[in-house]
Structure 1
């Protein structure tokens, strides 16, 4: 009887261990950040303001929160790009040596563009956002003209993961 109890308890323990390992992989990559920044530049003699605000929470390939608005204001007009969960983003963990990262794409970028009414500019139907973490810095490198209306793309930037302060790349 003791042996039967031991075997049943051992089997239950092994099952619980493997279930927990499947739910929470040991080397899952996680990212949680909120950021906001403004940068003013002069381009071709014109004042241009770049403003970005976002929140990203990733757990491996699972997206808990993905929201980013990227604006560009000029003297007489402005442009914006935005992406959020309604655009059906999909995350893929990427490994480049010891540098953790992700590639975020949209399940259907063309449908997301059409939903926003951006059918009058030919900027393509693709969207890819690369996130690369190195120490406390997260680099955000977009190639996502599908969600930008008349603007060519989101602004490339880097975020300090401890402070949330970001910096626009030139």
Structure 2
């Protein structure tokens, strides 16, 4: 048993380097998307359609990006681009992790949902397939512990489904997050 726990721990400690390009699939077509870093706090989402590079098709993200994924979050047959950013809001002036969702519309990147917050302050997210495409998040509770929450996409944005665990130490939550 100790060996299994040790192996799980080692895998959870590995740092996964994120690629700056990914494929968005929509109705059988594939379009390459690039997340271009212009500085530590400015990024650009760029679709690569053929050999053209039309700046009007890009989307400027003037915030640090900590994570991004591609998934068909609304299950309409076309992938969306989920981007985790660090930014403040009008009602929360302290920069915090937020989740933005973009879509590709006729080759142009456009916002689909610009979330200011989930049920609690966001620590990390990933997309999983659990009875459909879901967003799994690690969030910080008011008491300083952590939770795992599950969200699905509705017509307005991410809709809370349920908590998988609550009031746990970060190590416990990260281990479960890694293997879901």
Q: Larger RCO: Structure 1 or Structure 2 (Cα < 8 Å, ≥ 6 residues apart)?
A: 1
- Counting helix residues as a fraction of each chain, which structure ranks higher? 1
Q: Same fold (TM over 0.5)?
A: no
TM-score, normalization by structure 2 = 0.26
